[in-house]
């Protein structure tokens, strides 16, 4: 057994052990007196008394627990049951039904990272120098980097997606919005589950959780684990072996011309949550997680070439049009080095949340967290056996955050929150960057910190009318040190150069909401937010080491939230107009006299407007229908001439921004007996075209796509469940992103195809 097989066996043994641990307290509890009924976890949502009505979801978007329908901001909330019904197991998948939200894996050049874009604002580059345009939070703890953000949805209670600037409503300022993942809190129910899945591409998933009562009325523990492995869906072939007369040398490493596969999944994770309530006023939650990800690189077959960029290499032959095939080798035969073609990431996180009720009207909360990860990813940036841009990238990152909030009320008139947030991060970006114009071994460091204070006040003018206001002050800075050597080990001119950035900002939010009736809430707000600046992290020469400032947004929004027809139909709608300025754009054509460049500047202004509609319908019995529709119009209003010289025009849009999105889902529960039911479900999602890069070109355009999923679930009893699911039901061949190297010296453009049709069978046993 090799090391990797040993890791998998160990994690799966731990997962099965979690279920076994559950049995021990259960047996012990049977011998003792029955424990007191544990209090429910605060995040549990009450269910409407009418079983045909729509259940409420309790969210904490405004620092306190509120019904989703009482929260006067645009927010999509999905509970654990719906995530399971839609066969959604990772963060990338949850955007399919969220209006004006795009979540995709980044292009292959950025490794294990996710692009999260809301209302046209996001970030595509994994580099620690750039701030995410959308904040990601795990149990109210800020996840500070784009890298590593393809998170598994392990044992979640709910997901909240907040659209629009969250400068005064989230731990760290977020210009585009926030995605908040909340895990299930331990309740001491002495319950649990174990779940196994087998499917296409030798998919094997194991998931499990155990919720234990350690001390009656005081101490509760929840342990959750996941192990999942799937064979890659894109075959990596030896071009010289497949086409022996092509003039391309075969590697000689494979009899069947197959070098490997891309897109494989190999992930293991474990989480533990300890909840302690020593008194009625004090609650302490400690959460720890650890994970190991040895998945394969993002597939990136060659789609287009520009022969003039590399006249000495016959690149056109690699545009074969063959589906699910790539001819990358992760080797540079000229310089005689090769890499394994792996994305490896190991990390862990620790957090502690203490909540204390000072009195009936005041509560103080402290959230302390530390997260660390390290890993590497290999890149064949041209996608050919010639190795024109074969790179090995190493990442190492750690961060500490501290947030303190005081929530209070003055009678029934005012609710308020006063708080502070501190963030400290340190990252190292290493490896070997090989381009036709550059070959460097790197070890750049990035240090960043952010300090902020905020206040949020809600005035209940009448039983139906509320006014809200928020204010936030932020002081942040970054420091860069470039470490560069050539392959011989000698330091190059960029080595030792430093740069720093600092900024102080004020953000605000004003909101008014009015309940026209018990069924209808209308609201309007104006809010600001910003995305921090920094120092160009990818200089080719010293003159490229320049600072760029923050981009900012002022957003105007109106909306309505309704529960109609005796709670059988929920219909929420919002419309927005955003003034987006100082947009960070890159000059890529020869800045500073060098043939290539990648220098960010605050170079544009834009107006962004659109609308969003979400509905849930429970007309009768076990029938459930949900749907969403969104429209977004992005218009540049100003661009500096240097950016226009790079080819960007006023009719372009920001990366991963679609004009239209729509989704619909339907399911029905057929009762077969008192203890058995059959539940078929069908989901379909449409997204109009978008572009993967700021410079919109046909070679990075991703066309319209419609993808459907289906699931058939058999609930055999309160404890057994079986499901057959099919994703990409109609086997649509489409692309998730495209990387356009035609604008650089590489001369190739690549694309990541979405996963083909896959089936899976899942068995779940609850205890």
Beta strand ranges found along 281-342 (DSSP E): 282-293, 302-305, 325-326, 331-332, 337-338
pTM: 0.90
**Count of domains forming the chain:** 1
- At residue 269, does pLDDT exceed 50? yes
Range with lowest mean pLDDT among 48-52, 453-457, 595-599? 48-52
**Average pLDDT over the chain, rounded to whole?**
89
> What kind and span of H or E run contains 219?
strand 219-230
Q: What is the pLDDT of residue 163?
A: 95
* Tens digit of each residue's pLDDT (9 = 90 or more) over 110-149: 878 889 999 999 998 888 889 999 999 999 999 989 888 8
> What kind and span of H or E run contains 510?
strand 498-517
Q: What is the pLDDT of residue 252?
A: 76
Greater confidence (47 vs 414) lies with: 414
Greater confidence (379 vs 269) lies with: 269
* Tens digit of each residue's pLDDT (9 = 90 or more) over 541-554: 888 999 999 999 99
* CA angle, residues 527, 531, 533, in degrees to nearest 5: 145
Alpha-carbon distances of 447 from 50, 87, 397, rounded to whole Å: 54, 39, 10
pLDDT band at 715 (very low <50, low <70, confident <90, very high): very high
Q: What is the pLDDT of residue 52?
A: 53
pLDDT band at 586 (very low <50, low <70, confident <90, very high): confident
- DSSP code string of 160-172: EEEES--TTTSSS
Query: CATH number of the domain that 132 lies in?
Result: 2.40.170.20
Q: What is the pLDDT of residue 590?
A: 67
DSSP, collapsed to helix, strand or coil, labels residue 93 as: helix
Helix boundaries (H) for 552-657: 641-645
> What kind and span of H or E run contains 84?
helix 80-85
CA 459 – CA 512 distance, rounded (Å)? 9
CB–CB of 220/211 below 8 Å? yes
Range with lowest mean pLDDT among 110-114, 244-248, 629-633, 725-729? 110-114
CA 98 – CA 121 distance, rounded (Å)? 15
CA 199 – CA 233 distance, rounded (Å)? 13
- At residue 681, does pLDDT exceed 80? yes
Range of the domain at 398: 3-766
| CA 292 from centre of chain | 17
CA 347 – CA 145 distance, rounded (Å)? 13
> Kind of pairing, strands 141-143 and 134-138?
antiparallel
**Span 367-372, mean pLDDT?**
96
Q: What is the pLDDT of residue 46?
A: 34
> Kind of pairing, strands 177-183 and 134-138?
parallel
Range with lowest mean pLDDT among 141-150, 355-364, 681-690? 141-150
Q: What is the pLDDT of residue 471?
A: 96
The candidate with the shortest Cα–Cα distance to 320, out of 209, 247, 237, 425, is: 237
Share of the chain above pLDDT 90, in %: 68
CB–CB of 177/28 below 8 Å? no
The candidate with the shortest Cα–Cα distance to 87, out of 766, 755, 767, is: 755
- At residue 489, does pLDDT exceed 90? no
Beta strand ranges found along 360-413 (DSSP E): 362-380, 390-410
* Tens digit of each residue's pLDDT (9 = 90 or more) over 1-42: 444 444 444 444 444 343 333 333 333 333 333 333 333 333
Tell me phi and psi for residue 84, to 5 degrees: -65, -40
* Cβ density class 58-84: b for 16+ within 10 Å, e for less: bbbbbbbebbbbebbbbbbbbbbebbb
CA 255 – CA 613 distance, rounded (Å)? 55
The candidate with the shortest Cα–Cα distance to 729, out of 669, 689, 763, 684, is: 684
**Span 492-513, mean pLDDT?**
95
Q: What is the pLDDT of residue 152?
A: 85
CA 393 – CA 432 distance, rounded (Å)? 6
The candidate with the shortest Cα–Cα distance to 172, out of 531, 470, 428, 480, is: 531
CA 104 – CA 299 distance, rounded (Å)? 13
**Dihedral sign for Cα atoms in the order 307, 311, 313, 314:** positive
> What are the structure tokens assigned to 618, written together?
């429970």
**Span 66-74, mean pLDDT?**
92
* Tens digit of each residue's pLDDT (9 = 90 or more) over 329-339: 888 887 788 88
Burial of 49 (C-beta count, 10 Å sphere; 0-12/13-18/19+):
exposed
Residues contacting 443, CB < 8 A, separation 6+:
428, 429, 430, 483
Q: What is the pLDDT of residue 111?
A: 79
| CA 671 from centre of chain | 37
Q: What is the pLDDT of residue 456?
A: 95
**Dihedral sign for Cα atoms in the order 598, 136, 453, 70:** positive
CB–CB of 369/400 below 8 Å? yes
Greater confidence (760 vs 539) lies with: 760
């Amino acid at each position: 057994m090799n090391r990797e097989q040993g890791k998998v066996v160990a994690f799966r043994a731990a997962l099965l052990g979690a279920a076994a641990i559950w049995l021990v307290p259960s047996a012990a509890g049977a011998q003792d007196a029955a424990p007191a009924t544990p209090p429910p976890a605060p995040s549990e949502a009450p269910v409407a008394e009418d079983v045909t009505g729509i259940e409420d979801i309790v969210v904490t978007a405004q620092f306190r627990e509120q019904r989703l329908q009482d929260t006067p901001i645009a927010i999509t909330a999905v509970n654990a049951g719906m995530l399971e019904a839609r066969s959604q197991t990772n963060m990338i998948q949850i955007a399919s039904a969220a209006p004006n939200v795009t979540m995709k894996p980044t292009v292959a050049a950025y490794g294990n990272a996710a692009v999260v874009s809301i209302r046209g604002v996001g970030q595509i580059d994994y580099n620690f120098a750039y701030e995410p345009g959308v904040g990601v939070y795990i149990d109210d703890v800020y996840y500070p980097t784009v890298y590593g953000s393809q998170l598994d949805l392990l044992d979640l209670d709910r997901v909240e997606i907040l659209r629009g600037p969250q400068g005064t409503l989230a731990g760290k300022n977020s210009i585009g919005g926030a995605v908040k993942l909340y895990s299930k809190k331990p309740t001491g129910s002495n319950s649990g589950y174990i779940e196994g899945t087998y499917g296409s591409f030798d998919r094997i998933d194991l998931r499990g959780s155990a919720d234990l009562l350690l001390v009656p009325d005081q101490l509760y523990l929840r342990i959750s684990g996941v192990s999942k492995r799937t064979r890659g869906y894109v075959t990596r072939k030896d071009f010289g072996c497949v086409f022996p007369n092509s003039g391309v040398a075969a590697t000689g490493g494979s009899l069947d011309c197959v070098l490997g596969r891309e897109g494989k999944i190999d992930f293991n994770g474990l989480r533990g949550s300890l909840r302690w309530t020593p008194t009625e006023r004090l609650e302490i939650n400690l959460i720890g997680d650890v994970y190991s990800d040895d998945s394969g690189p993002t597939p990136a077959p060659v789609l287009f070439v520009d022969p003039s960029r590399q006249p000495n290499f016959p690149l056109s032959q690699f545009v074969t049009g063959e589906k699910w095939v790539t001819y990358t080798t992760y080797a540079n035969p000229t310089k005689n080095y090769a890499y394994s073609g792996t994305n490896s990431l190991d990390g862990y996180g620790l957090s502690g949340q203490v909540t204390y009720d000072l009195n009936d009207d005041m509560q103080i909360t402290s959230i302390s967290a530390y997260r660390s990860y390290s890993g590497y990813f290999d890149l064949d940036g041209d996608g050919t056996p010639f190795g024109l841009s074969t790179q090995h990238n190493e990442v190492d990152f750690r961060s500490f955050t501290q947030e303190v909030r005081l929530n209070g009320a003055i009678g029934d008139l005012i609710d308020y929150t006063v708080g502070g947030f501190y963030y400290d991060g340190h990252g190292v970006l290493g490896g070997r960057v090989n381009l036709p114009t550059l070959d460097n071994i790197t070890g750049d460091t990035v240090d960043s910190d952010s300090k902020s204070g905020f206040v949020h006040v809600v005035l209940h003018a009448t039983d139906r009318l509320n006014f809200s206001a928020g204010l936030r002050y932020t002081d942040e800075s970054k420091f860069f040190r470039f470490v560069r050597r050539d392959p011989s080990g000698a330091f190059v001119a960029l080595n030792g150069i430093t740069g720093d950035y600092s900024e102080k900002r004020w953000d605000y939010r004003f909101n008014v909401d009015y309940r026209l009736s018990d069924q209808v809430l209308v609201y309007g707000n104006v809010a600001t937010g910003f995305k921090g600046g920094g120092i160009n992290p990818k200089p080719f020469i010293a003159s490229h080491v320049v600072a760029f400032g923050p981009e900012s947004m002022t957003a105007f929004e109106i909306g309505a939230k309704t529960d109609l027809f005796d709670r059988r139909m929920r219909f929420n709608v919002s419309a927005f107009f955003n003034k987006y300025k100082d947009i960070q754009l890159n000059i890529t054509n020869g800045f500073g006299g060098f043939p290539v460049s990648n220098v960010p500047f605050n170079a544009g202004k834009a107006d962004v407007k659109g609308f969003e509609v979400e509905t849930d319908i429970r007309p009768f019995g076990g029938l459930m229908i949900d749907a969403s529709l969104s429209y977004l119009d992005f218009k540049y209003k100003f661009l500096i001439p240097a950016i226009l010289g790079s080819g960007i025009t006023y009719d372009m849009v920001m990366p991963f921004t679609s004009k239209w999105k729509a989704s619909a889902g339907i399911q029905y529960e057929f009762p077969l007996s008192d203890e058995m039911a059959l539940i078929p479900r069908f989901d379909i999602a449409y997204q109009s075209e978008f572009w993967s890069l700021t410079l919109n070109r046909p070679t990075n355009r991703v066309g319209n796509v419609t993808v459907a999923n289906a699931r058939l679930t058999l609930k055999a009893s309160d404890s057994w469940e079986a499901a057959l699911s099919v994703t990409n039901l109609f086997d649509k061949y489409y692309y998730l992103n495209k990387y356009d190297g035609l604008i650089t010296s590489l001369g190739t453009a690549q694309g990541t195809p979405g996963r083909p049709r896959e089936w899976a069978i899942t068995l779940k046993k609850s205890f």
